[in-house]
Amino acid sequence: MSFDLLVKNGTVVDGTGAPRRHADVAVADGKIVEIGEVSGNAERVIDASDLVVAPGFVDPHTHYDAQICWDTLTTPSSWHGVTSLVMGNCGVGLAPCKPDTREVAAWDLVNVEAIPFDVLSQGVTWDWETFPEYMDAAERRGSGINLGFMAALTPFRHYVMGEASMERAATDDETAQIRALIREAVAAGAFGFTTTNVAQHIGYQGRPIACRNASRDELASYAGVLKELGRGSIELALTNEVSVIDEAERDLLDMLLTESGRPVTWLALLNRDDKPEAPMDTLRDHADLLSRGAIPQVTCRPLLIQIDLSKPFIFANLECWNPAFNRPVEEQIEFYRGTGFREAFRREMKTPKVFSGKWERAIVHEVGSPSMQHLVGRNVADIAKERGADAIDTFLDLAIEDDLKIQYTYELFNADESRIPELITDSRTMIGLSDGGAHVDMLCDAGYCTYLLGTWVRDREALTLEHAVKRITSEPAAFYGITGRGRLAPGLAADLAIFDLATVGSAKRGEMRTDLPGGGRRLVMPAKGVEYSVVNGEVLFADGEHTGALPGTVLRSGSA
């Protein structure tokens, strides 16, 4: 028999959790046709001796909504063996959008996802208005990997309500219009809708992002669309105190589960220094909701961020910081000098919720002024002590002295890595939170799949290879109803991640590149040990190099 592709002599881990086995994988017409001892010819043969052959990884939480306009490879996720991903998370996106409100949509991405406005202005193609047109435009453009879309609620509310979407709940008539548009999006293939409950998510002009103004009645109506269609899911940025669900948040989660009859994935469970038991306590205290399909997302990496005070996203949940957003640097500097602002910030740091204010973790990573180069690698607490100054004043003063060019790194959550295994091995959680495409000059966790395999499977043996592969393939695929992917079996799509377990991995820190539209900066995470990526039967990467193929497709609910 003749095949398009034959992967020989690999260690096959099929994504179901079943034991690994030595086998060949034969591919024809984009599908797996045989697994075992295969004989026959093929147009291309890959010798996978000493390599693991797994399903392509499925990333459930990305923000590549804009980046797909200029990057057909959806990097860096595709470097790490990801062959399918889901975008449109946290209630922010670019469709639907009327031509005269594109700037509002762009600023929402600036404030929630920390993507520079100039990059969006130069890179977004705007060859759509409605959500189905947005998905169709992605299909026409072509892609290296498979793209799944969630309908982010903010642009739908803005499309119907305009400026009022940032100020109030929708009327009954407006709710009906938004509901009809969400129904149209899911019918066209969106995998559900997303929203946010998090105060940190501010949008245009520093106001609450539009979906945060949706009433419970509104959200119940939109959830009802999924119940009527019998498909889709909801993604929700839920907790304002990391890893702790308060009573109102519990009620919201309960309502969405009830009204949709569909699963809800929510953000997030992360380990905190001040409340180390919080994630496991939350899993225990809300076991009834988890049993009904409320799946929290976790990450397998320490959450290491880069802080740039010209784009102070990490402080967006603090009201005293709101005037700093979307201002020229000169105005930001004057604002940061203010004693009133500094005192308000000091008060907020007495009861931290996201940024913990552990100044020994705030490391000077990069400076613009040569005269400050000697500070690189030092932490703010030590610099403050040396200056005989308060740490908050020092943190702000250093930024002002460097015209806000200074970059700090900060280990925000999961700093105690010994607590990570209990979250990533728990069947009630979903491993994700890559945030690929977002916070581009602040963090890059898009390498979480290779980090899981290298750090937690090979190096620390916290979970087996079979379990780890299942967690990042068939589990997220099953949650979203991507039925033809996430496993290796005859008849399924030939999406493969072929890697060397001895070398696979990624670092804790990414590297900065200037490859965004207009030379914009972004952090990327290079991959190690991923030898081949195969998408729909075509080799996308070989030895880390792009083959030139663009075999990806737009995934659509109901036919995925």
Q: Does domain 2-55+526-546 have CATH number 2.30.40.10?
A: yes
pLDDT(316) > 50: yes
pLDDT(346) > 50: yes
Question: For residue 39, what pLDDT band results from cuts at 50, 70 and 90?
Answer: very high
How far apart are alpha carbons 219 and 225 in whole angstroms? 10
In sequence order, the β-bridge partners of residue 497 are 54, 533
CATH topology of domain 57-302+414-484: TIM Barrel (3.20.20)
pLDDT-above-90 percentage for the chain: 86
How far apart are alpha carbons 143 and 73 in whole angstroms? 6
Smallest CA-to-CA distance from 170 within 184, 156, 182, 186 is with: 156
In sequence order, the β-bridge partners of residue 95 are none
pLDDT(3) > 90: yes
At 559 the pLDDT is 59
Q: Please give the structure tokens belonging to residue 442.
A: 């602040």
How far apart are alpha carbons 494 and 476 in whole angstroms? 17
Smallest CA-to-CA distance from 192 within 95, 98, 260, 106 is with: 260
Tens of pLDDT, residues 456-480: 999 999 999 999 999 999 999 999 9
Query: How many CA atoms within 13 Å lie on the side-chain side of 543?
Result: 2
Tens of pLDDT, residues 68-115: 999 999 999 999 999 999 999 999 999 999 999 999 999 988 888 878
Tens of pLDDT, residues 114-157: 788 999 999 999 999 999 999 999 999 999 999 999 999 999 99
Tens of pLDDT, residues 151-181: 999 999 999 999 999 999 999 999 999 999 9
At 114 the pLDDT is 77
**Mean pLDDT on 195-218:** 90
Q: Which residue has the higher pLDDT, 206 or 548?
A: 548
Alpha helix locations (H) across 151-266? 153-161, 172-188, 216-229, 247-260
How far apart are alpha carbons 543 and 446 in whole angstroms? 19
What's the Cα-to-Cα distance from 87 to each of 67, 237, 420, rounded to whole Å?
A: 11, 14, 25
How far apart are alpha carbons 560 and 556 in whole angstroms? 5
Are 109 and 65 contacting, i.e. CB atoms less than 8 angstroms apart?
yes
pLDDT(485) > 80: yes
pLDDT(353) > 80: no
Q: How do 57-59 and 41-47 pair as beta strands?
A: unpaired
How far apart are alpha carbons 236 and 42 in whole angstroms? 45
Tens of pLDDT, residues 260-301: 999 999 999 999 988 999 999 999 999 999 999 999 999 999
Question: For residue 243, what pLDDT band results from cuts at 50, 70 and 90?
Answer: very high
Residue ranges per domain, the chain?
2-55+526-546, 57-302+414-484, 306-411
Is the overall model pTM greater than 0.85, yes or no?
Answer: yes
- The mean of the pLDDT values for the chain is 95
In sequence order, the β-bridge partners of residue 410 are 305
Q: Please give the structure tokens belonging to residue 258.
A: 């009830």
Q: How do 264-267 and 233-237 pair as beta strands?
A: parallel
pLDDT-above-70 percentage for the chain: 100
How many C-beta atoms surround the C-beta of residue 189 within 10 A?
A: 20
At 560 the pLDDT is 43
How far apart are alpha carbons 423 and 419 in whole angstroms? 7
Q: Which residue has the higher pLDDT, 108 or 252?
A: 252
Are 76 and 447 contacting, i.e. CB atoms less than 8 angstroms apart?
yes
